[in-house]
Amino acid sequence: MAEITASLVKELRERTGAGMMECKKALTESNGDVDAAAEALRKSGLAKADKKAGRVAAEGRVAMAQEAGKAALVEINSETDFVAKDANFVAFTEAVANAALGAADIDALKSASIDGKTVEEARAELIAKVGENVQVRRMARIDSDNNVAAYVHGGRIGVLVEVKGGDADLARGLAMHIAAMNPPHVKASDVPADFIAKEKEIEMAKMSDKDRAKPAEILEKIIGGKIAKIVNEVTLYGQDYVLDTDKKVEAVLKAAGADVVGFQRLAVGEGIEKVVEDYAAEVMKQAGLA
């Protein structure tokens, strides 16, 4: 048996773009023959799969799993919405979400086992199957004795929320609210001071010269009212509750003797810069017409 050195693995990775473990396994099975190992990786689809890693995967799906006081969300990306709806892709996201219940972070999740293989190995197999880049991008997880709810809307937005007090129905209702309204903060005390200062500056600039000439205490009251409205808009507690718009979320929580400990919200593709191909412009450019 030939020795599988680090330099051999490196050479095969550079040639095929396949993962380190896949390269090592292929080299072992080919007794150190790099050409044979490369051919085996191409035949298995793993080399082809990893060559797709440079493509932007900005579509995909958010999946959830929940048991007892644990709940988890995972965002798994594909290149197109078509693949995001593929049965193989959906099954993969569900399996990964279940694995996330016991994973401390995204790196641990990628090494976790699903169906007798690691998440990374299963991902590579899925790529070969669907013909697109697939990325296990991020996860969120809560493990608590408090009320915990997980909610996914249309496979595109997922929310985890932890509530001290109240009941499971309240926690789920709040998760639905957060999915719909996307509040950046929980309470007014969580809103950064520099945000408040900037909003005050903006509101002052919007005022007429006549209003700015009013006595300081009146001016402060006017600005204070505007800022309070803005703070309500950016905080969970200050928003109108989507399941009962006559009440603020804060009032609903107070009536239930409950308090939100925290929440996490994932939306498919947020923060990923999508590449938009303009083929007409590209053709014109190459033809010297643009």
Domain ranges of the chain: 6-52, 188-248
Per-residue model confidence as pLDDT tens for the chain (290 residues): 678 888 888 888 878 777 788 888 999 999 999 888 888 887 776 665 445 555 667 899 999 999 988 999 999 999 999 999 999 999 999 999 999 999 999 999 999 999 899 999 999 999 999 999 999 999 999 999 999 999 999 999 999 999 999 999 999 999 999 999 999 999 999 999 999 999 988 888 888 888 888 888 888 898 999 999 999 999 999 999 999 999 999 999 999 999 999 999 999 998 876 654 444 554 455 455 54
Q: Please report the pLDDT score of residue 279 as a whole number.
A: 43
**What phi and psi, each to the nearest 5 degrees, are found at residue 183?**
-70, 130
Q: Which two tokens stand for residue 241?
A: 């509750």
C-alpha–C-alpha distance, residues 258 and 250, integer Å: 9
Q: Give the chain's end-to-end CA distance (angstroms, integer).
A: 59
Q: Please report the pLDDT score of residue 274 as a whole number.
A: 60
Q: Which residues are within 8 A (CB) of 45 and not within 5 positions of it... i.e. 6 or more apart? A: 124, 125, 127, 128, 129
Q: Please report the pLDDT score of residue 55 as a whole number.
A: 66
Q: Please report the pLDDT score of residue 17 as a whole number.
A: 76
Nearest to 164 by CA among 65, 262, 244: 262
Q: Please report the pLDDT score of residue 170 as a whole number.
A: 97
Element (H or E) spanning 223, and its range?
helix 216-233
Q: Please report the pLDDT score of residue 13 as a whole number.
A: 82
Question: DSSP per residue over 142-209, as a string?
Answer: EE-SSEEEEEEETTTEEEEEEEESS-HHHHHHHHHHHHHH--SBSSGGGS-HHHHHHHHHHHHHHS-H
C-alpha–C-alpha distance, residues 34 and 51, integer Å: 18
Q: Please report the pLDDT score of residue 277 as a whole number.
A: 47
The C-alpha angle 140, 145, 149, rounded to 5 degrees, equals 45
C-alpha–C-alpha distance, residues 266 and 135, integer Å: 15
Q: Which two tokens stand for residue 174?
A: 């709040």
C-alpha–C-alpha distance, residues 74 and 77, integer Å: 10
Question: DSSP per residue over 35-70, as a string?
Answer: HHHHHHHHHHTHHHHHHGGGS---EEEEEEEEETTE
C-alpha–C-alpha distance, residues 237 and 204, integer Å: 26
Q: Which fold has domain 6-52?
A: Helicase, Ruva Protein; domain 3 (1.10.8)
**What phi and psi, each to the nearest 5 degrees, are found at residue 132?**
-135, 155
